[in-house]
Amino acid sequence: MPGFKKQTFMKSVLFKHRSIRKFRPTPIPEEVLRECLEAASRASTCGNMQLYSLVVTRDETLRERLAPCHFNQPMVRQAPCVVTVCADIHRFTMWCEQRDADPAYDNFAWFLNASTDALLAAQNLCVEAEMHGLGICYLGTTIYTAGDISQILELPKGVIPLTTVVLGYPDESPELTDRLPLEAVVHYEKYTDYTAAEIDELWAEREESELTKRLLAENGLPNLAQVFTQRRYVRKDNLAISESYFALLKEKGFFNN
Please check whether residue 89 is in contact with residue 110, taking contact to mean a CB–CB distance below 8 angstroms.
yes
Residues 25-36 as b or e (16 or more Cβ within 10 Å = b) = eeebeeebbeeb
Q: What angle do the packed helices 108-131 and 3-15 form, to 10 degrees? A: 110
Please check whether residue 51 is in contact with residue 118, taking contact to mean a CB–CB distance below 8 angstroms.
yes
Give pLDDT, residue 5: 63
Q: Are residues 36 and 80 in the same domain?
A: yes
Give a yes or no: residue 139 inside a domain: yes
Please check whether residue 180 is in contact with residue 192, taking contact to mean a CB–CB distance below 8 angstroms.
no
Please check whether residue 155 is in contact with residue 85, taking contact to mean a CB–CB distance below 8 angstroms.
no
- For the beta carbon of residue 95, count every other beta carbon within 10 angstroms: 12
Distance CA 62, CA 58 (A): 8
Q: Are residues 140 and 86 in the same domain?
A: yes
The number of domains in the chain is: 2
Q: Are residues 216 and 241 in the same domain?
A: no
Please check whether residue 41 is in contact with residue 50, taking contact to mean a CB–CB distance below 8 angstroms.
yes
Give a yes or no: residue 10 inside a domain: no
pLDDT digits (tens, 9 = 90+) for 194-204: 999 999 999 99
Q: Are residues 242 and 117 in the same domain?
A: yes
Q: Are residues 143 and 193 in the same domain?
A: no
Q: Does the pLDDT at position 216 exceed 80?
A: yes
pTM, to two decimals? 0.93
Give pLDDT, residue 255: 84
Distance CA 87, CA 160 (A): 5
Please check whether residue 12 is in contact with residue 126, taking contact to mean a CB–CB distance below 8 angstroms.
no
pLDDT digits (tens, 9 = 90+) for 36-64: 999 999 999 999 999 999 999 999 999 99
Q: Are residues 99 and 209 in the same domain?
A: no
Give a yes or no: residue 3 inside a domain: no
List the domain range (segments joined by +) for residue 193.
182-232
- Residue type, position 155, single letter: L
Length of the chain: 257
Q: Are residues 164 and 213 in the same domain?
A: no
Q: Are residues 99 and 208 in the same domain?
A: no
Give pLDDT, residue 13: 87
Q: Are residues 128 and 202 in the same domain?
A: no
Mean pLDDT of the chain: 95
CATH number of the CATH domain containing 138? 3.40.109.10
Give a yes or no: residue 91 inside a domain: yes
Residues 178-195 as b or e (16 or more Cβ within 10 Å = b) = eeeeeeeeeeeeeeeeee
